[in-house]
Amino acid sequence: MKKIDIWVRLVCTGVILFFAVFDHEVRAQSVEGKWGIGIRGGGGLPDEDVSTAFESKTGPIVSGNILYGLGDIFSVGLNIEWEKHDIEISGRGVGEAKTTSIIPLIEWRPIVSGAVSYYLSFGLGINMNSFNRDERRRRTILSEDLTAEEIADLFTTPFEVDPENTMAIKISSGFDYFAAKNLAVNTEVGWKSNSGNMEFCFSLGCETRDWDASVLTALLGFRYYF
């Protein structure tokens, strides 16, 4: 918790200093006829466990997008996101779920106030999902306070998880703060759906189970318009 508090303070301090460096008289620029390139990072909070008995944790997200302004209030673009979440069973880590999302989107900018341009966005695309079992976890399991039966179960009951690719629906709200004529600090919160099925294989065979890696997202980064 202390490490998280330190990182939050550092990020907040960095944002405040960044704003202080640039000219606050800059006003939000029209995006009509302009291209925009953005890079952002943040976190994804699962809105529920990924599947029965599989607990998913908050994980990092890296997002990049490219936009083109059709007019003052509408832009179209493409967003690519990568995220990773640790997966646990009964509180013990068993692997990582990773998702790469490719999402064409449209942005609507109804409000411009001073240096700030607010927007809403909606996108439809694809989530490419994978699961990697943490074999290092199994190799170090003997150092934990487990019963002989629990250790034997972890070593002799292998399983594989193969999640299918799913439709991505992303709804977001955010704003660009123009710190310079063509450079904006971008902040965005949103929700992305990632719901389908997975194939779960273990010693007795394979079965199909629900897969839900939908997340609430919070992102911070930069956009450059030209």
- In the prediction, which pLDDT does 207 show? 75
Do 202 and 158 contact (CB within 8 A), yes or no?
A: yes
- In the prediction, which pLDDT does 142 show? 43
- In the prediction, which pLDDT does 22 show? 52
Q: Side by side, which strands form the sheet with 195-202?
A: 160-163, 195-202, 205-212
- In the prediction, which pLDDT does 102 show? 98
| Cα–Cα distance, 217 to 130 (Å, whole number) | 19
Which two tokens mark 107? 């942005």
| Cα–Cα distance, 23 to 31 (Å, whole number) | 20
Domain boundaries defined on the chain = 2-225
Pick the closest to residue 137 from 80, 75, 89 (CA basis): 89
Task: Report domain 2-225's class.
Answer: mainly beta
Other Cβ atoms within 10 Å of 156 Cβ, number: 8
| Cα–Cα distance, 195 to 208 (Å, whole number) | 13
Per-residue pLDDT of the chain (226 residues; tens, 9 = 90+): 544 555 556 556 655 555 555 555 677 778 899 999 999 999 999 887 666 667 778 899 999 999 999 998 999 999 999 999 988 776 667 788 899 999 999 999 998 888 999 999 999 999 999 988 766 555 444 445 555 555 445 544 556 788 899 999 999 999 999 988 899 999 999 999 999 888 877 666 677 778 888 999 999 999 999 9
- In the prediction, which pLDDT does 43 show? 94
- In the prediction, which pLDDT does 26 show? 72
| Cα–Cα distance, 29 to 114 (Å, whole number) | 10
- In the prediction, which pLDDT does 126 show? 98
